[in-house]
């Protein structure tokens, strides 16, 4: 595969793509070269038929300490607006149809918190620190935080975090449902994410893709339209071979062997 300057990319388990942000000197601050590499690595995993689920992590100290403040500090309105600054970030999730698990250790602040929330499933360890401290810099979240955080933890808690810039602890993140699981150590967190990705990779990739698509719709649609959308996709799956394989295997007390067709 390709080599990257700011990422470590591998496939440590069957069907699983693994990306580690690797800009230790700046606590994985998200500057444009890193974001472009991340887009490229995610696109390659999306295109790779042998990869079915992806884990994204940082270091023990920092998932990512935010957008790169030094890169942004002299940015003008006309340049930010003209170049659609941060637009390249939205790429990270819009094209990705395969499940993305973010394994968060250490700081996930500002753009780091926003990147973490772009995951389909979030796992963290007990010393992870979340927050949207942009207000302290005279700005606001710029990569989806003002929308995804309230959806994840409710308006009042999100307002509290975004207006004060105060951190959210791992314990709060677990209790409020920002993350699906809180592990004791960073190593357990990454291993837990890899194990979940491996589990997902063993199912029919048709069913997995459809499941991600319908759950994502719940974030944008009302219940009635969302349930109608779910029904259409559910009906569509009866046109797949894997539906026949999965249900026949159950009836015959066999293990299914998926074709992804």
In the complex with ligand CAA, the residue whose CB is nearer, 99 or 111, is 111
Catalytic residue among 15, 106, 111, 144: 111
Report whether 61 contacts 128 (CB < 8 A). Answer: no
Q: Which residues bind ligand CAA (CB under 6 A)?
A: 26-27, 29, 65-70, 86, 107, 109-111, 114, 133-134, 137, 141-143, 145
Does the active-site annotation cover 114?
Answer: yes
Taking the complex as a whole, how short is the minimal distance between the CB of residue 229 and ligand CAA, in angstroms?
30
Does the active-site annotation cover 58?
Answer: no
Q: 3-class SS at 62?
A: strand
Whole-number Cα distances in Å, 243 to 22, 150, 234, 254: 40, 36, 10, 14
Taking the complex as a whole, how short is the minimal distance between the CB of residue 60 and ligand CAA, in angstroms?
12
Does the active-site annotation cover 67?
Answer: yes
Catalytic residue among 26, 65, 112, 114: 114
Taking the complex as a whole, how short is the minimal distance between the CB of residue 207 and ligand CAA, in angstroms?
34
Catalytic residue among 37, 66, 119, 134: 134
- Written as one string, the DSSP assignment of 169-204 is EHHHHHHTTSSSEEESSHHHHHHHHHHHHHHHHTS-
Report whether 141 contacts 134 (CB < 8 A). Answer: yes
In the complex with ligand CAA, the residue whose CB is nearer, 21 or 143, is 143
Taking the complex as a whole, how short is the minimal distance between the CB of residue 12 and ligand CAA, in angstroms?
27
In the complex with ligand CAA, the residue whose CB is nearer, 110 or 174, is 110
In the complex with ligand CAA, the residue whose CB is nearer, 36 or 69, is 69
202, 157, 196, 161: which is closest to 180 by C-alpha? 196
60, 43, 53, 39: which is closest to 11 by C-alpha? 53
Angle at 73 between CA 69 and CA 78, to 5 degrees: 125
In the complex with ligand CAA, the residue whose CB is nearer, 70 or 224, is 70
Does the active-site annotation cover 60?
Answer: no
Q: Which residues are catalytic?
A: 67, 111, 114, 134
């Amino acid at each position: 595969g390709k080599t990257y300057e700011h990422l470590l990319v591998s496939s440590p388990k069957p069907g699983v793509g693994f990306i580690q942000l690797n800009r230790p000197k700046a606590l994985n601050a998200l500057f444009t070269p890193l974001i472009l590499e991340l887009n490229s690595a995610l696109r390659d995993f999306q295109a790779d038929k042998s990869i079915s689920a992806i884990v994204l992590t940082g270091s023990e100290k920092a998932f990512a300490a935010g957008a790169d403040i030094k890169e942004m500090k002299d940015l003008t309105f006309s340049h930010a607006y003209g170049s659609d600054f941060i637009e390249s970030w939205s790429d990270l999730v819009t094209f990705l149809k395969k499940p993305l698990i973010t394994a968060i250790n250490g700081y996930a602040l500002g753009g780091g918190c926003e990147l973490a929330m772009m995951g389909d499933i979030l796992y963290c360890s007990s010393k992870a620190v979340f927050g949207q401290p942009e207000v302290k810099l005279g700005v606001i979240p710029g990569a989806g935080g003002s929308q995804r955080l309230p959806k994840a933890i409710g308006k009042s808690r999100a307002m509290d975090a975004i207006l004060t810039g105060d951190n959210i602890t791992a314990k709060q993140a677990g209790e409020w449902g920002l993350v699906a699981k809180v592990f004791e150590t960073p190593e357990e967190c990454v291993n837990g994410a890899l194990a979940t990705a491996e589990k997902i990779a063993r199912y029919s990739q048709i069913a997995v893709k459809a499941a991600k698509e319908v759950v994502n719709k719940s974030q944008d649609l009302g219940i009635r339209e969302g349930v109608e959308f779910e029904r259409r996709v559910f009906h569509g799956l009866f046109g797949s071979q894997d539906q026949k394989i999965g249900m026949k295997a159950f009836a015959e007390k066999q293990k299914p062997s998926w074709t992804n067709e």
